Amino acid sequence: MALGNLTSKAVSLYDEWIKDADPRVEGYPLMASPFPQTMIIAAYIYFVTYLGPKFMENKKPFDLRQLMVLYNFGVVALSIYMTYEFLMSGWATGYSYRCDIVDYSRSPMALRMVRVCWLYYFSKFIELLDTVFFVLRKKNGQVTFLHVFHHSIMPWTWWFGVKFAPGGLGTFHGMINAIVHVIMYTYYALSSLGPSFHKYLWWKKHMTSIQLIQFIMVTCHIGQIYFMDNCPYQYPIFMFIIGLYGLVFLILFLHFWYHAYTKGKRPPKSIKNGISKNKAE
């Protein structure tokens, strides 16, 4: 009886909470509730941390070069498109880069922002293939806690952003991340083409700098809200989560930078494998 009452109360609280969701995302795949995506992410974690390595234990690594070329260039194309859509739905057409609130209207511009927010969210599931490819190629050293956590937490948290606040301040880091992905996945695509293309990858040394700049921009942009008077952004909790995420990764990248370049020493293995292979997502 007590369990039944507890379940009933939980369902009631969920119904009360979900009624404030943005009705414009009704009908979008995976947006009905957070449970389908939670199951997908749980299956991903189980596969890349246990089932996949177990399956590959006595097998030769798969040769996925051609598939990875298509995949990486595909992510580049998708990232270019998302960057353009973020810009044209607000960031280059009216946003102030300060107190930009969510436009909940059904204007063409507002609906365009909703669409690109959902597409960015969905792209995070596509990027789970990064880790799957690591497992199938038996690159298990690159499947670190940080890598798996990062790939898992991004789609899960973005569901709430799209469901309740698809627009405004909270989309800046998505746009910046899409821009960074154009650069990062271009590098990985060229790298996967083989040694004959490695001479075009002279800019590899700037990858960490690009990642650092990304997190500095995200942290500074979100941090503005705490210094603005009466900014009526609808969900301040999202700003705290984005700011915390940006700050944590900024610290980790600065740690990597210090050991790799300032001290002139090889960075700790956990940092090198966990972050530099993380594609800065």
**Active-site residue 150, yes or no?**
yes
Q: Return the exposure string of 196-234: e unless at least 16 CB atoms fall within 10 Å of the residue's CB, then b.
A: eeeeeeeeeeebbeebbebbebbbebbeebeeeeebebe
Distance CA 241, CA 231 (A): 17
Is the sign of the CA dihedral 103, 104, 105, 111 positive or negative?
positive
Cα–Cα distances (Å) from 186 to 70, 80, 201, in that order, read 11, 11, 10
Structure tokens given for 26 = 């009704």
* Size of the chain, expressed as the number of residues it contains: 281
| Residue of 150, 173, 181, 221 with catalytic role | 150
Q: Distances in Å between the alpha carbon of 206 and those of 128, 193, 212, 241?
A: 24, 20, 10, 28
- Which residues participate in catalysis according to the annotation? 150
